[in-house]
Amino acid sequence: MEVAARRAALGLIVASILVVSAGCDQLQTKFSGKKDQGPQLTALRQSIASYRSRLLAAVSGSEMGDVPGMLTEGSRILDQVEQQAALMSFMDGQAVKIDVASGRTIITAARGFADSNDMDGVRSHRERLDGVLFDIDSILARAAMMTDNPPPAGS
C-alpha cells in the first residue's frame, strides 16, 4: 500500500509540473510572444524590406508594368504577417493587426489608381504603404528581440 501511495504522489507531482510548465509557456506567449519565432520574424522582415524596395522601383518609372502584381504580392505579405501576429505578444499582435488592416486598405485604394493608369495616385499610396510596412517591420524587430533574447531576470 505504501508503494501505491508513493506512486500516486509522484504522479500528482509530475502532473503538477506539466501543468505549471504549460502555464509558463502560455504566459510567455501572452507577454512576449511565442518562443523561438526569431527565424520566422527575420524572414518576414527580409520579405518586407525586399518588397518595399521592389515596389519603389516599380512605381519610379512611368509604366504601370509590374505594379498590379506588386500590389498582389503586398497582400500576400500582409497575410503572412497577420498569421505571425497570432504568435506574438498580445500588444504587438494587436498593433500588427491594425497595421495590416491599414495596409490592406491602402493596397485596395492603390489598385483603383493602377486600374486607371494613374501613376501619381499609385505613388502616393506607395508612400503611405511604405510607412505602414516600416511600422510593421519595427514591431517585428522588437518581437524578435523579446522572444529570442529575453531580458535577464532580476536586477
**pLDDT attached to residue 97:** 96
- Each residue's pLDDT tens digit, 113-136: 999 999 999 999 999 999 999 999
Q: How much is the pLDDT for 154?
A: 47
Question: What local confidence, expressed as pLDDT, does residue 19 receive?
Answer: 57
CATH number for region 33-148: 1.20.120.230
Grid cell locating 83: 498569421
The model's confidence at residue 17, banded by pLDDT at 50, 70 and 90, is low
pLDDT at position 7, please? 73
Would the pLDDT of 27 be above 50? Answer: no
Higher-confidence residue of 52 and 153: namely 52
Listed by start position, the domains of the chain span 33-148
Q: What is the per-residue pLDDT across 81-117, written as a single tens digit (0 to 9) for each?
A: 999 998 888 899 999 999 999 999 999 999 999 999 9
Rounded Cα distance, 141 and 37, in Å: 11
pLDDT at 31 over 90: no
Confidence category of residue 64, pLDDT binned at 50, 70, 90: confident
pLDDT at 155: 44
CB atoms within 10 A of CB 50: 12
What band does 53 get if pLDDT is binned at 50, 70 and 90?
very high
Q: What is the pLDDT of residue 87?
A: 87
Q: What is the pTM of this model?
A: 0.73
Whole-angstrom CA distances from 152 to 27, 37, 148, 149 are 17, 19, 12, 9
Q: Mapping DSSP to helix (H, G, I), strand (E, B) and coil, where does residue 36 land?
A: coil
